Structure 1
């Protein structure tokens, strides 16, 4: 077997966004692929039968596709794509001298949502659909000037509810001027959002769209509003009771709160009803099969450390009833990652983080009585996404040495396959997306390691080991400690090209689930609230010391890196120890005091630390820029040129300060990249730069 090389990165195919047909016989899913010619990522749409009778069929290949959703009858598949205009529309418009707006409105009132639109010459994301019974290419359903961000099918498959921006005439003039490099005029406190740019006052409304005629009707009382509205939108869901659920915030000071309430509204725009009480950050509504209940996820709007729970609102489909809202997962003390899925009228499946892994739980829609299910999945496989429909459940699973693929199983067997039962539930593998890439590759094994930190707490690490490594009779290896972001996130045993590449070069890769990580309960996560850095650094250092004592890690060949909060924690680590030969903080924040107001997450800082002029010592206590004179570890500092989550000015501050303090430093900025590295050549450059930095500071390599 051979190790993966850097060029292999371009062959990696990453699955996401799975959706089951109503009868459970077919699954649609999206695969992210590299288009090296255009130096872009492409998202392609595939369909596969869930009985495994044939290989997946590619439906799209020209441009990116996402958000697949089956019609209620199961014969049509809608999705959002940024494609050239449908030829049918182009022919119609060329023969029609009128220029009516697609939405039929010119009077949208401004207040909340995205901005920084692309040039008018570029296509916008629209809803398209394949008629799988008739065949042929996809048909464009919407034609909004500013594009579409989300949608859902109506219960009879004749209409869609669509989320789309709707500028007034005055706002449209401003947007046109902005596209011509005109001045940016800001009136919102939430003035920017990573990946979307400067925020304007244009609202994202819900529209009801006729699938055949494309006629769109705006629901004037249903629109996105709030500090997180631009990132998540109204998230519409159209239920069998003919009510549309969505999330928004209609209280005072919308840019100064993370509250998102759950609402329902009639398809004609009447009878808007609020279901939640103004304390939750709600999202992802999903209607029960009969439409008399709606489930959703919600977190504490002021405490990011509190688990996101699954709630059920009973009576949500009838405005004459008193709606009761209750959490059905509170006792689990675990965070739900994505919206829940109804498996029948009384049961939901949810994807939760649980002990350094994402897995399925079954929830009783009428009580807080969660049950962990699908025990067969927990054998070293992480759950990336899932869907359930009728008797069938499909799951995207990731394994460190097997890659990422789609599997199907009988829902009933998943529920019976618990630790108390021996029901055979070996899922059917539906895809082999990276067989050519991984079949002959030397891929890592993965082990969980527990150790005590300096306070005597038990901490867990996920350790990726080279294929030829013998953990029982180890030979110490060079070790990369790679720190997850968040900080309210977690590491799991799953496939990572970076880790497979590094283990192929002989490195051990260690992921410490430090205090603050989710998946171990709220008390564990909340330990760091209001004081980021010291505890995480202690746990990371303790984890490395544990690997050294096991004989797995060579104490003279240690390296540390991390992205986002991982970059922040990298600096906290190297200001406290000189045990690492080199460090690479990526896309981090190093001076929280000066960062306030320049990044897009300032409401989070207010929730945890207050305002910097009220708590200057608190902001400085979590900042490492003041401790650069304590660093002796060489630093490779990276940033995205358009990163507004962790602005590149933070990397500049660290680079100049560390260099003036005598620390060997190098700065790499990726132009036009946000809080990520997306373009293929830049992704390759990043991995090469990190590896070269470690190798150039490896005492053995020298």
Structure 2
């Protein structure tokens, strides 16, 4: 579960359906198969050179032998030529960053068995390695003069223990000792138990030398959303976003309450720039040093508060909201080289858009089609901007995914400069993606969604339907290639995935329709969508299936407790009981003051009403439950409860536990492939 902020249909009302261009694949091509997960490649973290002529990016590929994702660093010219690797697979390179003059490229890689910073001279290929770190450096940022690098790193602390230590005798092999936990939020999904210590910011000379720690244990914690720091224009300080609340305040609602602070790199005292009730993150300093652009929101005590693009005038202290007229969440600001505008992206009706915002609140659209690889979520696509105004970005389309695209001067409309998955897609028949708009039976609410048709679709035939529900619940899908949904379509299903009430990219009011009411009226939005699709005439209404993960898993369980129309369901990593989820997950404060506005002991009736255990006795639908055993966002105990309750009530059900996997079941390629194959297989057994 995440929070996207710093936080039966009337067929006559069915809106016009808009079709996206169908991919030109030969009808004889086979459809996608789960094993194709291993063939997909991903371009991540594109970094364009200052002069806009080259892009460095991290290329990720699944290794079918080791069952792992392997990153390498690649370079490519702006015209798509000279596409070459810069590192080896075993180096696991990350964080490429160009020096201000474009003559050097810094990145992090494994050298001599440890994570190190590498500075690569572009003209000669000579490299300088900076190592000896007690942890893994990340988040590289060059100083304006190119002499220094800032980075973040976890600094370990001695683990706590009680009682006299008991040591094993020579030659003995004992099991791991106990772990002492003294913080409520001691686990993090994807990372496991957080080791003792804290994240800190350091600087180090780019030519090598002794690192200097800039933050202290008292400075505060990095923001949970957005980037944490940037250099001041004079290179004498860092502008840092920090949460300085103690654990008690964080647990009671200050989870996203960050401020902006100036930290001198020479060791001087930290200065407060903004410290108010609400989040600030992703600081970016204008070229002349006068303004700080950042993303933030005024805490309004709502379920969802729109994230705005803001500017702080360091001369006057004035704080301006540049996107007050844009009712969309704006993210990832980047200054234009002339200081007259700020690049940032936002999601609008499921589409990611990149815009240049001026300091008076105007905006000019630069590109659309930004997207994370192989997934329909709007998510957080990465981009970077050159001095020339050219932009490199992660890019996705219904029939293209995982690529790096450019837009801007000399380029025009965004176009891909890589073809990472062209060979795979050329040999596979993909499902056509089509937009659908309809009205919900609840309040006549307009709802947007998408269909994916099976390859070689014949409208004269009848097809089974899978409805796939997104998580969040404040999140959004869009018309991008999604390997999970394409695999379902490849298996012969029409796939329907809507953005129902609570979704982002439709404004704050739409997102807040589920405030204090999730799960709830989404049922009507979803069932109205099924009726709208069925009215097209090609759906076998005796073969309807429903699935979703995280918040979508919760809604799947909500649907089958209220309708027997579905032949089978797959409930993936859901929240089932809000009290147990909050007290065993890594997002306790978000549940207590976000999804709810109180605790289970102060609002027991509300927690019970919204628990899926309260309605599990109504379920008749054959149900698969699936969760990763290392999921700390919606812990596997949630699924254990639900499966036990289903069995108690005699519901045909199976429970799939996935070892080592965290939230989403994407850590290992084989698990991800088997997740999709398992859901399809379960539906196939219930024809």
Same fold (TM over 0.5): yes
| Structure 1, 165-174 or 689-698: larger mean CA deviation | 165-174
Q: SS of the residue aligned with 1:332?
A: coil
Work out the CA distance in 2 between the residues paired with 1:672 and 1:377. 31
Tell me the TM-score normalised to structure 1 length.
Answer: 0.85
Task: Write the mapping of 1:673-684 to structure 2, written as runs, cut at 5 A.
Answer: 673-677=661-665, 678-684=667-673
Residue 386 of structure 1 and its aligned partner are, at CA, apart by: 2.2
Residue 694 of structure 1 and its aligned partner are, at CA, apart by: 0.9
Contact 2:377–2:477 (Cα < 8 Å) also in 1: no
Work out the CA distance in 2 between the residues paired with 1:327 and 1:177. 59
Residue 376 of structure 1 and its aligned partner are, at CA, apart by: 8.5
Work out the CA distance in 2 between the residues paired with 1:172 and 1:145. 22
Task: Give the counterpart of 2:537 among 551, 557, 570.
Answer: 551
Residue 233 of structure 1 and its aligned partner are, at CA, apart by: 9.2
Tell me the TM-score normalised to structure 2 length.
Answer: 0.87
Task: Give the counterpart of 2:492 among 491, 506, 514.
Answer: 506
Residue 300 of structure 1 and its aligned partner are, at CA, apart by: 5.0
Task: Please name the residue that 2:141 is paired with.
Answer: 152
Residue 638 of structure 1 and its aligned partner are, at CA, apart by: 0.6
Residue 520 of structure 1 and its aligned partner are, at CA, apart by: 0.2
Work out the CA distance in 2 between the residues paired with 1:206 and 1:12. 35
Task: Please name the residue that 2:121 is paired with.
Answer: 131
Task: Please name the residue that 1:693 is paired with.
Answer: 682
Work out the CA distance in 2 between the residues paired with 1:26 and 1:488. 36
Residue 566 of structure 1 and its aligned partner are, at CA, apart by: 1.0
Q: SS of the residue aligned with 1:625?
A: helix
Residue 265 of structure 1 and its aligned partner are, at CA, apart by: 1.6
Work out the CA distance in 2 between the residues paired with 1:498 and 1:290. 46
Work out the CA distance in 2 between the residues paired with 1:314 and 1:177. 58
Q: List gaps (5 residues or longer) in structure 2.
A: 1-28, 168-173
| 1:663 and 2:651 correspond | yes
Work out the CA distance in 2 between the residues paired with 1:381 and 1:412. 30
Work out the CA distance in 1 between the residues paired with 2:66 and 2:625. 27
Task: Please name the residue that 2:264 is paired with.
Answer: 266
Task: Give the counterpart of 2:233 among 240, 243, 246.
Answer: 240
Work out the CA distance in 1 between the residues paired with 2:399 and 2:208. 49
Task: Write the mapping of 1:194-213 to structure 2, written as runs, cut at 5 A.
Answer: 194-199=189-194, 202-213=197-208
Residue 645 of structure 1 and its aligned partner are, at CA, apart by: 0.3
Residue 9 of structure 1 and its aligned partner are, at CA, apart by: 1.4
| Structure 1, 161-170 or 397-406: larger mean CA deviation | 161-170
Task: Please name the residue that 1:386 is paired with.
Answer: 383
Work out the CA distance in 1 between the residues paired with 2:166 and 2:421. 45
Work out the CA distance in 2 between the residues paired with 1:254 and 1:76. 43
Contact 1:385–1:397 (Cα < 8 Å) also in 2: no
Task: Please name the residue that 2:336 is paired with.
Answer: 342
| 1:635 and 2:633 correspond | no
Contact 1:262–1:274 (Cα < 8 Å) also in 2: yes
Does the C-alpha gap of structure 1 residues 344 and 431 become closer, same or farther in structure 2, counting only changes over 3 Å?
Answer: same
Residue 343 of structure 1 and its aligned partner are, at CA, apart by: 5.2
Residue 527 of structure 1 and its aligned partner are, at CA, apart by: 0.7
Task: Write the mapping of 1:574-589 to structure 2, written as runs, cut at 5 A.
Answer: 574-589=560-575
Does the C-alpha gap of structure 1 residues 454 and 266 become closer, same or farther in structure 2, counting only changes over 3 Å?
Answer: same
Work out the CA distance in 2 between the residues paired with 1:438 and 1:177. 59
Residue 162 of structure 1 and its aligned partner are, at CA, apart by: 1.8
Task: Write the mapping of 1:187-586 to structure 2, written as runs, cut at 5 A.
Answer: 187-199=182-194, 202-221=197-216, 225-226=220-221, 235-242=228-235, 243-252=237-246, 253-256=248-251, 257=254, 258-299=256-297, 303-315=302-314, 321-342=315-336, 344-364=338-358, 366-374=359-367, 384-391=381-388, 392-411=390-409, 425-455=412-442, 456-469=444-457, 473=459, 475-586=461-572
Task: Please name the residue that 1:650 is paired with.
Answer: 638
Does the C-alpha gap of structure 1 residues 269 and 393 become closer, same or farther in structure 2, counting only changes over 3 Å?
Answer: same
| Structure 1, 389-398 or 142-151: larger mean CA deviation | 142-151
Q: List gaps (5 residues or longer) in structure 1.
A: 87-122, 316-320, 414-424
Work out the CA distance in 1 between the residues paired with 2:468 and 2:346. 23
Does the C-alpha gap of structure 1 residues 521 and 144 become closer, same or farther in structure 2, counting only changes over 3 Å?
Answer: same
Residue 19 of structure 1 and its aligned partner are, at CA, apart by: 1.1
Task: Give the counterpart of 1:77 among 105, 108, 115.
Answer: 105
Residue 466 of structure 1 and its aligned partner are, at CA, apart by: 2.3
Task: Please name the residue that 2:170 is paired with.
Answer: none
Q: SS of the residue aligned with 1:613?
A: coil
Q: SS of the residue aligned with 1:289?
A: coil
Task: Please name the residue that 2:78 is paired with.
Answer: 50
Q: Structure 1, residues 18-70: CA drift from partner, whole Å, max 9, x if none?
A: 11111111111122210222111112211111133333545342242322211
Q: SS of the residue aligned with 2:381?
A: strand
Pairwise CA RMSD = 2.8
| Structure 1, 607-616 or 654-663: larger mean CA deviation | 607-616
Work out the CA distance in 1 between the residues paired with 2:179 and 2:204. 32
Work out the CA distance in 1 between the residues paired with 2:364 and 2:112. 47
Q: SS of the residue aligned with 2:452?
A: strand
Contact 2:72–2:87 (Cα < 8 Å) also in 1: yes
Q: SS of the residue aligned with 2:330?
A: coil
Contact 2:370–2:393 (Cα < 8 Å) also in 1: no
Residue 507 of structure 1 and its aligned partner are, at CA, apart by: 1.3
Does the C-alpha gap of structure 1 residues 535 and 337 become closer, same or farther in structure 2, counting only changes over 3 Å?
Answer: farther
Work out the CA distance in 1 between the residues paired with 2:72 and 2:297. 32
Contact 1:222–1:269 (Cα < 8 Å) also in 2: no
Q: Structure 1, residues 184-209: CA drift from partner, whole Å, max 9, x if none?
A: 22222323221222345522222111
Residue 168 of structure 1 and its aligned partner are, at CA, apart by: 4.7
Contact 2:403–2:420 (Cα < 8 Å) also in 1: yes
Q: Greater relative contact order (Cα 8 A, min sep 6): structure 1 or 2?
A: 2
Residue 543 of structure 1 and its aligned partner are, at CA, apart by: 0.8
Alignment length (residue pairs)? 636
Q: SS of the residue aligned with 1:162?
A: strand
Work out the CA distance in 2 between the residues paired with 1:24 and 1:172. 54
Contact 2:96–2:108 (Cα < 8 Å) also in 1: yes
Work out the CA distance in 2 between the residues paired with 1:343 and 1:625. 55
Work out the CA distance in 2 between the residues paired with 1:510 and 1:74. 46
Does the C-alpha gap of structure 1 residues 140 and 375 become closer, same or farther in structure 2, counting only changes over 3 Å?
Answer: closer
Residue 468 of structure 1 and its aligned partner are, at CA, apart by: 2.3
Work out the CA distance in 1 between the residues paired with 2:249 and 2:156. 19
Work out the CA distance in 2 between the residues paired with 1:445 and 1:170. 54
Residue 221 of structure 1 and its aligned partner are, at CA, apart by: 4.7
Task: Give the counterpart of 1:65 among 93, 107, 110.
Answer: 93
Residue 511 of structure 1 and its aligned partner are, at CA, apart by: 0.8
Q: Structure 1, residues 98-131: CA drift from partner, whole Å, max 9, x if none?
A: xxxxxxxxxxxxxxxxxxxxxxxxx4x4433333
